[in-house]
């Protein structure tokens, strides 16, 4: 029997396996598994008490129930998810806050069952949707936010909820959606099917709320950030009622003041207000400089920025990293001050490192979107003519690590 099957840290604890085997009626195999687990335990430098073993067993079983429930929910296997989460809430509710939001997930699954939507495919946009009045469109789209299923891009990383077509459609409607979005942030307790986590081996998964999707849409429409993640694994869903209340109050004050004010005048008001803080001033200046560019504001993602004309900084839910400004954006005339990192930006930077012949790319370049389009066209037309770079080419272009290709 391997160490993993006996209960090493890499697999299910041996005591758990022994319990399962005994329950299934394999008493002899259960006894051998338990004996092996005790040998592993005795060889440990730190003795484990009976109480600690029981606690470890409960944690392992609790995590299995919660993680399986979340994964099934993401895949719309709602009945399976409900079985796992029901067991989790019945037997291991004390771990709910440690692992994520299992209590809220249980309530959401019951809501879906009562509304006869459990396990069903997400509705498509109605054929005549574009002929509807704007308030009717907004109301229908917000009603569908519990179907949002954007996925996390990397680990650690954020979930860009603006990649979901329902959130995109609300953003496209713009200001007419703001009032109902604020009401949603304040009152809506539903969950999306998007999940945020730190790393896959960490025992934590947060099923993001509809509030999170509504806040992402509202901030992106207004181009004003009223929430920013500040710690590892942070998101709006985890912040609780107090943060909801302060965020809603901030949005209502802003919208009451600027509802009837053109966007550029809103930004000038911020810039000329002596009480504006440095972050608000920088945001307003960036918005005016990039009036015609789409800018998404995420609640879990990464922001790239230039700080003090000396450092390139990336701020994310995992913290902050800083380095010198890359040569490709050294000239202030050819760069933006700040931008949300999108999944396509991360992919483009990876391709830049792998493929010789693509245009140089950085997310803070003024023409970043045009460069992305050029990259797409090149790869569409030249993907069949890629070849491995020679040692001489790798050295010439300083691509010494990982796979490197050349566009012929």
Q: Are residues 153 and 273 in the same domain?
A: yes
**Is 93 within a domain?**
yes
Q: Which of 53, 83, 99 is the last residue of a domain?
A: 99
Angle between helical axes of 278-289 and 263-272 (0-180°, round to 10): 140
Residues 275 and 401 in one domain: no
**What is the average per-residue pLDDT within 28-35?**
84
Are 224 and 283 members of one domain? yes
Is 56 found in the same domain as 204?
A: no
17, 88: one domain: yes
Structurally, how many domains does the chain consist of?
Answer: 3
Whether residue 204 sits in one domain with residue 71: no
Q: Is residue 283 part of a domain?
A: yes
Tell me the per-residue pLDDT of 54-88, one tens digit each, with 9 for 90 and over. Answer: 788 888 889 999 999 999 999 999 999 999 999 99
pLDDT of residue 319: 54
Report the 10 Å Cβ neighbour count for 194: 24
Between 193 and 118, residue with greater pLDDT? 193
Whether residues 133 and 222 share a domain: the answer is: yes
User: Residue 156: is the preceding peptide bond cis (ω within 30°)?
Assistant: yes
List the structure tokens of 253: 């004050």
Position 107 in a domain: no
DSSP of 279-297? HHHHHHHHHHHTTTS----
Dig out the tokens for 89 from the structure.
């809430």
In a domain, 316, yes or no: no
- Residue at 407 is within a domain: yes
Q: Which domain holds residue 71?
A: 3-99
Whether residue 277 is found in the same domain as residue 407 = no
Q: Are 282 and 157 in a shared domain? A: yes
Residue 20 placed within a domain: yes
The answer on 87 and 219 residing in a single domain is no
User: Does residue 335 sit within a domain?
Assistant: no
pLDDT confidence band for 41 (50 / 70 / 90): low
Q: What is the pLDDT of residues 278-298, one digit of tens each?
A: 778 877 887 787 777 766 776
pLDDT of residue 229: 53
Positive or negative: CA dihedral 255, 258, 261, 266: negative
Q: What is the pTM of this model?
A: 0.69
Contact indicator for 208, 237 with CB cutoff of 8 Å: yes
């Amino acid at each position: 029997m391997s160490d993993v099957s006996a209960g090493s840290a890499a697999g299910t604890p041996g005591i758990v396996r022994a319990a399962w085997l005994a329950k299934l009626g394999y008493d002899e195999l259960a006894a051998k598994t338990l004996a092996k687990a005790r040998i592993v335990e005795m060889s440990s430098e730190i003795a484990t008490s009976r109480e600690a073993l029981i606690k470890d067993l409960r944690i392992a079983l609790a995590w299995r129930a919660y993680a399986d429930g979340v994964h099934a929910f993401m895949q719309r296997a709602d009945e399976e998810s409900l079985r796992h989460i029901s067991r989790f809430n019945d037997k291991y509710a004390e771990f709910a806050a440690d692992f994520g939001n299992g209590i809220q997930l249980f309530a959401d699954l019951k809501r879906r069952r009562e509304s006869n939507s459990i396990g069903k495919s997400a509705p498509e946009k109605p054929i005549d949707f574009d002929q509807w009045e704007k308030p009717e469109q907004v109301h229908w789209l917000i009603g569908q936010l519990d179907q949002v299923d954007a996925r996390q891009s990397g680990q650690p990383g954020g979930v860009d909820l603006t990649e979901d077509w329902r959130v995109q459609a609300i953003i496209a409607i713009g200001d007419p959606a703001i009032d109902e979005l604020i009401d949603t942030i304040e009152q809506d307790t539903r969950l999306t099917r998007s999940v945020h986590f730190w790393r896959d081996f960490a025992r934590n998964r947060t099923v993001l709320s509809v509030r999170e999707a509504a806040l992402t849409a509202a901030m992106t429409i207004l181009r004003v950030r009223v929430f920013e993640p500040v710690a590892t694994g942070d998101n709006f869903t985890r912040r609780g009622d107090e943060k909801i209340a302060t965020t809603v109050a901030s949005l209502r004050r802003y919208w009451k003041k600027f509802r009837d004010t053109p966007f550029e005048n809103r930004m000038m008001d911020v810039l000329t207000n002596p009480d504006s803080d440095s972050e608000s001033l920088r945001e307003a200046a960036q918005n005016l400089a990039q009036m015609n560019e789409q800018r998404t504001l995420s609640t879990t993602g990464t922001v790239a920025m230039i700080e003090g004309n000396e450092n390139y900084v990336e701020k994310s839910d995992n913290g902050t990293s800083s380095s010198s400004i890359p040569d490709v954006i050294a000239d202030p005339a050819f760069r933006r001050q700040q931008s949300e990192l999108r999944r396509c930006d991360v992919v483009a930077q990876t391709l830049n490192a792998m493929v010789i012949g693509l245009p140089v790319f950085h997310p803070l370049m003024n023409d970043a979107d045009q460069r992305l389009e050029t990259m797409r066209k090149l790869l569409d037309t030249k993907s069949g003519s890629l070849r491995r770079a020679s040692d001489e080419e790798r050295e010439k272009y300083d691509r010494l690590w990982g796979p490197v290709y050349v566009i012929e």
